[in-house]
Amino acid sequence: MDGMKDVVLEYIREEYVDDEDDVELDENTPLISSGMVDSFSMVSLKTFLEMKYGIKLPDEEASPEAFDTVDSICALVRKHQG
């Protein structure tokens, strides 16, 4: 479980957070509601998750709420891992 959190956190840190930004990022950091990840960029995050975990996330479940924290993202991924 923690492995998935680390992987997703690492990806978000790499792709959405600049080295110079003073951003503390953990599994409960708001991503969408804070504006760190916008709704268009959510698509590349979703693509990453689908590719990494070999799943298909239905569009209707890829809501801003579901993508708002690494915790909620991992819960969604786990649900679709069966």
Partner 1 sequence: MTNIGSYEDRLKGFSWDVAKEALDWQEGELLNIGAICSDRVCARGRADQPALIWEGFGGKKKTYTFADLKVFSNAFAQQLRSLGVQPGERVCVFMDRIPALYISFLGVLKMGGIVQPLFSAFGDESLEVRLADAGTRAILTTQKHAKKVRAIRERLPELKHVIVVEGDPAKLKDGEVFFDFESAPRVEEFDVYPSGPETASVLHYTSGTTGQPKGAQHVHSSVLGQALTTQWVLDLRPGDVYWCTADPGWVTGTSYGIIGPWALGITQVVLDSGFMAARWYQFIQDNRVTVWYSAPTAIRSLMREGDETVKRFDLSSLRHLASVGEPLNAEAVVWSEKVFGLPFHDTFWQTETGAMMITNFPGMKIKPGSMGKPFPGITAAVLDLRTHEPIAEPGRVGLIAFRPGWPSIFRAYWNRPDLYRSKFVGAAEDAQPEALRNDTSLWYVSGDRASIDPDGYYWFVGRDDDVINTGGHLVGPFEVESALIEHDAIAEAAAVGKPDEVNMEVVKAFVTLNPGFEPTPELELQIMNFIRKRLSPLAMPQEIEYVDKLPKTRSGKILRRYLRAMEWGEDTGDLSTLEED
* C-alpha span between 38 and 48 (Å, rounded): 15
Residue listed under structure tokens 């995050």: 45
Closest CA to 74 of 7, 25, 23, 15: 7
Please report how close the Cβ of residue 44 comes to partner 1 at its closest, in angstroms: 5
Contact map string, positions 14 to 53, toward partner 1, x by CB under 8 A: -x--x-xx--------xxxxxxxxxxxx-xx--xx--x--
> By the criterion CB under 8 A, which residues form the site for partner 1?
15, 18, 20-21, 30-41, 43-44, 47-48, 51, 59-60, 63-65, 68
